[in-house]
């Protein structure tokens, strides 16, 4: 059993923002993308990350986009702030994935796709909220923490999957007492996100049948988005789809709308 102290240790290892990135985040939070891009341009690693992320297939640009000011201008305020959070995650991403059958290119594709689709969903719902937009970055963060937790017990995890045919989320709960959504909530606390973001992440599991209003709508869309993203062939092969117990009844009333929004996003 992994104790809560061990989980807290891994979460505490999610890096604090380097000074330049922190300045970029501060300016993004107050809406000054010009100054945010100026500071972001001063960090060669961040600049390379932004260039690599922005030229993933999900964005569909025919010509390479490399200028940071242009990248922030294309992303907009909320997505730029979220991308800076994603960069912090890249600092923790393992050089080699020990348990999940992933490459870093595949993981960055997941970050780009899930971020882009969540941005489009919020626009479809007429919601302009930077904190809500950044909330989706908690799921990739949790996957990194899971990799770190599981890699230390690789043999134990392999035995549970081989002998008892358990999925990764069940194994995670058995050895930690937490699932992926619980870990996401802990990371939200680490990043000092407001309680409503923690509540949203928990609600996106689809387990709470008593949700109403906007809280239910956002939870439905996030639940369906996570299922959609983690059900792509590369992530099924990696085992990431194990983390979503798909609740078809929970999302039935938005299914057609979701398909239209995602299809529109994927069009060139």
The answer to whether 183 and 7 have CB atoms below 8 angstroms apart is yes
What is the DSSP secondary structure assignment for residue 206, as one 8-state letter?
A: S
Q: What is the DSSP string of 86-109?
A: HHHHHTTS-SS-SSS---HHHHHH
For 206-258, the pLDDT digits (tens) are 888 788 899 999 999 999 999 999 999 999 999 899 888 899 999 999 999 99
For 35-91, the pLDDT digits (tens) are 999 999 988 888 888 888 777 776 767 777 778 888 888 888 877 887 887 787 777
Cα Dmax for the chain: 55
The answer to whether 72 and 33 have CB atoms below 8 angstroms apart is yes
């Amino acid at each position: 059993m992994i104790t809560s102290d061990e989980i807290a240790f891994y979460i505490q290892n999610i890096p604090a923002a380097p000074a330049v990135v922190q300045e970029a985040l501060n300016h993004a939070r107050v809406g000054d993308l010009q100054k945010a891009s100026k500071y972001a341009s001063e960090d060669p690693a961040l600049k390379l990350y932004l260039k690599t992320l922005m030229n993933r297939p999900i964005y569909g640009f025919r010509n390479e986009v490399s200028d940071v000011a242009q990248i922030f201008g294309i992303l907009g305020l909320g997505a730029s702030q979220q991308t800076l959070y994603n960069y912090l995650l890249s600092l923790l991403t393992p050089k080699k994935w020990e348990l999940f059958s992933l490459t870093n290119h595949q993981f960055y594709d997941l970050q780009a796709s899930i971020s882009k689709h969540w941005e489009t969903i919020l626009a479809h719902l007429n919601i302009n909220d930077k904190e809500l937009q950044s909330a989706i970055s908690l799921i990739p963060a949790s996957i990194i923490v899971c990799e770190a937790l599981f890699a230390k017990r690789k043999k134990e995890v392999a035995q549970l999957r081989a002998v008892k045919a358990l999925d990764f989320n069940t194994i995670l709960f058995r050895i930690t007492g937490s699932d992926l959504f619980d870990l996401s909530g802990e990371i939200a606390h680490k990043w000092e996100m407001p309680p409503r973001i923690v509540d949203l992440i928990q609600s996106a599991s689809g387990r709470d049948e008593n949700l109403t209003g906007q809280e239910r709508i956002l939870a439905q869309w996030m639940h369906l988005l996570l299922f959609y993203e983690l059900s792509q062939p590369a992530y099924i092969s990696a085992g990431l789809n194990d983390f979503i117990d798909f609740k078809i009844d929970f999302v039935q009333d938005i299914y057609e709308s979701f398909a239209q929004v995602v299809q529109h996003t994927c069009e060139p």
